[in-house]
Amino acid sequence: MTDLAASERAASAPTGTPPAHPTTTGLSHNKLAMWLFLGSECLLFGALIATYMFAKSRLPAGELGPNDVFDIPFTSVSSFVLLMSSLTMVLALSALTRGEERGFRVWIVATALLGGTFIAGQVYEFTVFYNLGLGYTTNIFGSAFYTLTGFHGAHVTIGIVMLMSALVASLRGRLSPRNAETVELIGLYWHFVDIVWILIFTIIYLFPQ
Amino acid sequence: MTTTSEPPLQLTAGEQLVRPSTSLGVLSRPTGETGWKSWLFTVDHKRIGIMYGAAALLFLVVGGVEALLIRLQLAVPGGNVLSEDAYNQVFTMHGVTMVFLVIMPMAAAFANYLLPLQIGARDVAFPRLNAFSLWAFLAGGIFLNTSWLLGGAPDGGWFGYAPNSGLAYSPSHGMDFYALGLQITGIASLVSAVNLITTVLNMRAPGMTLFRMPVLTWMLLVVQFLLLFAIPVITVALFLLSFDRLFDANFFNVAAGADPLLWQHLFWIFGHPEVYILILPAFGIMSEVIPVFSRKPIFGYPFMVFSGIAIGFMGWGVWAHHMFTSGMGPVSVAAFSLSTMFIAVPTGVKILNWLATMWGGRLRFTTAMLYSVGAVAMFTIGGLSGVTHAISPADTQQTDTYYIVAHFHYVIFGGSLMGMLSGFYFWWPKAFGYKLNERLGKLGFWVLLIGFNLTFGPMHILGLQGMSRRIHSYAADSGFNLWNAVATAGAFVIAVGVLMLFWNIGLSRRRARGAPPIGPDPWDGRGLEWMTASPTPTHNFDREITVTRQDEFWHRKWGYDEDNKVVRVAAADDVAHDGSAADVHLPSPSYWPVVVALGLPFVAYGLIYNLWVTAIGALLILGGLYAWVFEPPDDPEAHGHDDGHAADPSGDAGNGETGGPSANGDGESANGDGESADGAGGRELVGSAAPGGPSAEAAEDRP
């Protein structure tokens, strides 16, 4: 059943980025799946943020609340660090698609480091809050705050694991412009997690009341 | 994703881990097409579908036994079959089992088996993720049921209202099993939703536009979207409950200011879409069965599709009708009252369309048709009593009475389950190559229908008389005696009906031995799934099918003569593929979906008993995921021929799935792609014995 079109498609496969299996939408399966997954994640964080706001509004007067613990300048800096990691993520992908292996490695490490800095900042912040008397079980605000930011932190951590996996793959010579889409998908996830942080920072930190 | 490209020559040192020969042990892929291992490690959507169905039937028996215990307890006033505590556990597990472990996996069985076939694909987009979904569901179901042996099952109702489900009121580990078990089945549903949506959107045969897809495919697509967006909400709710119970958080601690409405909102934002998750697959099945046995196309196809989509959207705006008596305020109550009445409109459209499909048709009352018609009738009764709940003053009276119990059993049992039983009888020959016995099937249908109405009909009356749901016993002078006795008798009639289904399966299977093959198209079907041999060969279709219209297969068999009368133009056997193609490249089986799924209950047990067990489970998951990514995309030994990978619509085995782990929030896709670049890619260049491509259409048209 060999036919010309199929053999042409096979022959042209090594040079072009499009998948060998033509998909109905033209998007690769993986990219479509990633978008769907991120759509689902919106509802996860939506429910968590709603829970936080509901819980905060029910905090009894006199209990340790947002205004007593938040350090806006500090969190602004760590937020800036996380947002910059989106820039380096874009640069990493761009370097990879242009075949600049070295540039890719530099930027992917930079992205992971910036993400790591953010996580370190979160750990520091949690420690400070804890020393101020806000534990996970202290009150309803504490439970909701640590749960929401903890879920976000876990997402960033998983993102860092993905970045490091990409780095290892690159060091083994297995990433090339042809499979740059894998890195693009990690980037999608990474940017999504950043956008969620913009929401969290705005809603939770900038409007603590 | 770009799998195709890397020729093996480009492999550099250090690559042996990702491109092992079979001798490298753990990182080879399983082989063999028979025996239990071939089922355990399969990635074939049809085998996965069959296992989903078998598991659902197994849990149907478990949930059914629980139902019979409830009915025995309530058969006479002051019943003492179960203690109060045991009664709470039994009705909770009955609900949880029937919703999450029977109806949902049964729908998943049809989705897995039929979706790829109906759109003319070879498999789902991510075959290994598909296997993972099955095993995760099974792990979750078994985990939930082990609670019976470990100090008591969940006892806070299937809705698990917090703080009633908190430690203070439910001190056993039961509700921990509930929260964590549903988390595991939720992961299964979520992964499967991503997978199946990708499949439907991305893997349709040439010419299979969205509005040529069968109604079942459409309804399943809507359901997957509902799952995609509803599961994360209950995930959050269950996390909050778990954190409260395990780590002393304060989400539902009323003393600390918490509000019980939080749980109710989160649960029902999931819970009402869930209702449509349960019913829409059955709607789809009925929309396939009724046209075939009316010998007419579905009436108003666009209306059927759009009403399904409308239900999918509106299903998000009605959740608080479960909370009319929670004191959430008159504005909310009025708004949700209205939206609930509105959602009856698209549902009514569907019922009228089924009737119009049958109208003037040449009806054949096979067992499948009987179940479908029965489901339409029973669902209509349940739908009408549902509309009475939309009227909030009436609902205030009905809340938490047996009237509600009657309502949701009419829609879920009478609608969903009967619809799916119709599907079993309809597609059984496609899956197994023999029909279920029609005589026994019809008898079983009538037994089930009568038993069903005996059981749940009287509950309307009991509810209106004021009998509360979930009460353990009632006094002899309450006036509930007669109808409770009738309902209990009816429950046992249902049990007989279900047993007759199992008997039928055994009997038909025995009789099928040595009988002549059933042929590809036993019912004069309409969809592409009938266009291949029965039972479906592993590779589904011999050639790619080019679709030119809705009900493609039917139109290839039937045409019109000059008087515009329907005449047969080709025999089904000539149109359908005979399943003889041997040159089709298929994804290889894999160990890792089972391993990763096995890690999930370990994590859950550990959270309840000992965090070290959690660590072991987490290691299993992490190791399994990395192995998943590093295993070769295909067993190099399995295909001696030049396969048609290039134009194979589905065989995206290795690389297609690498998005999977990351779709779970884990970080493996980075390596995955490189891995898939070698194995399949190398051969890609060689083999282009491809089914499909433009010339396939010509090949198709040859009789």
Write the pLDDT tens digit of every residue in B622-632.
999 988 887 76
**Does A6 touch chain B if contact means CB atoms closer than 8 Å?**
yes
Residues of A in contact with B202 (CB under 8 A): 23-25, 27, 29, 32
Residues of B in contact with A161 (CB under 8 A): 666-667
Tell me: do B223 and B366 sit in the same domain: yes
Q: How many domains would you assign to chain B?
A: 2
> What gap in Å lies between CA A140 and CA A152, rounded to an integer?
19
Cβ proximity of B40 and B594 under 8 Å = yes
Buried b (16+ CB within 10 A) or exposed e, B556-587: bbbeeeeeeeeeeeeebeebbbebebebbbbb
Residue B581 lies in a domain: no
Calculate the CA B265 to chain-centre distance. 25
- Domain final residue pick, B459, B480, B512: B512
Tell me: do B56 and B100 sit in the same domain: yes
**B261, closest residue in chain A (CA to CA):** A54
Which residue would you say has higher pLDDT here, B177 or B673?
B177
pLDDT tier for residue A9 given thresholds of 50, 70 and 90: very low
Q: What mean pLDDT, rounded, does chain A reach?
A: 89
**Percentage of chain B with pLDDT > 70?**
85
Residue B110 lies in a domain: yes
Cβ–Cβ below 8 Å for B667 and A158? yes
Give the E-state strand segments of B180-339 in sequence order: none
> What gap in Å lies between CA A177 and CA B152, rounded to an integer?
56
Backbone angles phi, psi at B559, to 5 degrees: -140, -165
**Percentage of chain B with pLDDT > 90?**
77
For residue B566, the cross-strand partners are B560
Tell me: do B125 and B68 sit in the same domain: yes
A residues 20-59 near B, CB within 8 Å? Answer: 20-25, 27-34, 36-37, 39-41, 43-44, 47-48, 51, 54-55, 58-59
Any idea what the CATH number is for the domain that residue B377 is in?
Answer: 1.20.210.10
The pLDDT value recorded for residue B586 is 83
The pLDDT value recorded for residue B661 is 35
Residue B670 lies in a domain: no
> What gap in Å lies between CA B235 and CA B239, rounded to an integer?
6
pLDDT tier for residue A45 given thresholds of 50, 70 and 90: very high
Calculate the CA B198 to chain-centre distance. 16
Which among A33, A173, A175 is the nearest to B659, CB-wise?
A33
For residue B436, what are the contacts with CB-CB under 8 A and spacing of at least 6?
B367, B424, B425, B428, B504, B505, B508
Q: What mean pLDDT, rounded, does chain B reach?
A: 86
Range of A21-30, A101-110, B563-572, B672-681 with top mean pLDDT: A101-110
Task: Kindly report, residue by residue over B122-133, the tens digit of the pLDDT.
Answer: 999 999 999 999
Please state the length of chain B: 703
pLDDT tier for residue B455 given thresholds of 50, 70 and 90: very high
pLDDT tier for residue B35 given thresholds of 50, 70 and 90: confident
Please state the length of chain A: 209
Cβ proximity of B239 and A126 under 8 Å = no
Taking one residue from A and the other from B, the number of pairs with CB-CB distance under 8 angstroms is 274
For residue B203, give how far its alpha carbon lies from the nearest alpha carbon of chain A (Å): 6
pLDDT tier for residue A126 given thresholds of 50, 70 and 90: very high
> What gap in Å lies between CA A170 and CA A59, rounded to an integer?
49
Residues of B in contact with A89 (CB under 8 A): none
Structure-block tokens of residue A92: 């990493």
pLDDT tier for residue B493 given thresholds of 50, 70 and 90: very high
For residue A135, what are the contacts with CB-CB under 8 A and spacing of at least 6?
A142
**Percentage of chain A with pLDDT > 70?**
90
The pLDDT value recorded for residue B177 is 97
> What gap in Å lies between CA B266 and CA B655, rounded to an integer?
36
The pLDDT value recorded for residue B587 is 84
**Does A10 touch chain B if contact means CB atoms closer than 8 Å?**
yes
Tell me: do B315 and B176 sit in the same domain: yes
Tell me: do B532 and B507 sit in the same domain: no
DSSP calls for A17-71: -S-SS--SSSS-HHHHHHHHHHHHHHHHHHHHHHHHHHHHHTPPTTS--HHHH--
Residue B109 lies in a domain: yes
Residue B36 lies in a domain: no
pLDDT tier for residue B700 given thresholds of 50, 70 and 90: very low
For residue B10, give how far its alpha carbon lies from the nearest alpha carbon of chain A (Å): 10
Residue B38 lies in a domain: no
Tell me: do B545 and B494 sit in the same domain: no
Residues of B in contact with A142 (CB under 8 A): 250
Tell me: do B230 and B315 sit in the same domain: yes
Tell me: do B417 and B476 sit in the same domain: yes
Per-residue DSSP letter, B211: G
Cβ proximity of B610 and B146 under 8 Å = no
Cβ–Cβ below 8 Å for B646 and A13? yes
Structural domain of B569: 528-575
Tell me: do B176 and B214 sit in the same domain: yes
Buried b (16+ CB within 10 A) or exposed e, B172-189: bbbbbbbbbbbbbbbbbb
**B581, closest residue in chain A (CA to CA):** A1
> What gap in Å lies between CA A24 and CA A39, rounded to an integer?
20
- Asked whether residue B689 carries a pLDDT value surpassing 70, the answer given is no
**Pairing mode of beta strands B566-568, B558-560:** antiparallel
When scoring A1, A56, A136, A191 by the number of chain B Cβ atoms within 10 A, the one with the most, hence best to mutate, is A1
For residue B558, the cross-strand partners are B568
The CATH number that domain A30-206 falls under is 1.20.120.80
- Asked whether residue B410 carries a pLDDT value surpassing 50, the answer given is yes
The pLDDT value recorded for residue B663 is 35
Query: Mean pLDDT, to the nearest integer, of A114-143?
Result: 95
The pLDDT value recorded for residue B633 is 63
Query: Mean pLDDT, to the nearest integer, of B43-56?
Result: 96
- Asked whether residue B94 carries a pLDDT value surpassing 60, the answer given is yes
The H or E element containing residue B58 is helix B45-74
Q: State the alpha helices, DSSP H only, in B513-610.
A: 552-557, 572-575, 592-608
Cβ–Cβ below 8 Å for A7 and B690? yes
Residues of A in contact with B257 (CB under 8 A): 58-60, 139-140
> What gap in Å lies between CA A78 and CA A84, rounded to an integer?
10
Structure-block tokens of residue B38: 């071939």
The pLDDT value recorded for residue B57 is 97
The pLDDT value recorded for residue B634 is 59
Tell me: do B378 and B403 sit in the same domain: yes
Query: Mean pLDDT, to the nearest integer, of B514-541?
Result: 92
What are the distances in angstroms from CA B9 to CA A180, B246, B678, B681? 20, 54, 9, 11
- Asked whether residue B478 carries a pLDDT value surpassing 60, the answer given is yes
pLDDT tier for residue B27 given thresholds of 50, 70 and 90: low
Residue B17 lies in a domain: no
For residue B612, give how far its alpha carbon lies from the nearest alpha carbon of chain A (Å): 20
Which among A30, A136, A176 is the nearest to B659, CB-wise?
A30
Query: Mean pLDDT, to the nearest integer, of B57-83?
Result: 96
Cβ–Cβ below 8 Å for A169 and B671? yes
For residue B221, what are the contacts with CB-CB under 8 A and spacing of at least 6?
B196, B197, B200, B213
Residues of A in contact with B693 (CB under 8 A): 3-6, 9
Tell me: do B437 and B563 sit in the same domain: no
The pLDDT value recorded for residue A3 is 39
For residue B608, give how far its alpha carbon lies from the nearest alpha carbon of chain A (Å): 18
> What gap in Å lies between CA B523 and CA B518, rounded to an integer?
10
- Domain final residue pick, B575, B593, B611: B575
Tell me: do B417 and B553 sit in the same domain: no
Cβ–Cβ below 8 Å for A47 and B125? no
Cis check: omega of the bond before B535, within 30 degrees of 0 = yes
Q: By three-state DSSP, how is residue B468 classified?
A: strand
Residue ranges of domains in chain A:
30-206
Cβ–Cβ below 8 Å for A140 and B250? yes
Residue B680 lies in a domain: no
Residue B468's closest CA among B401, B396, B389?
Answer: B401
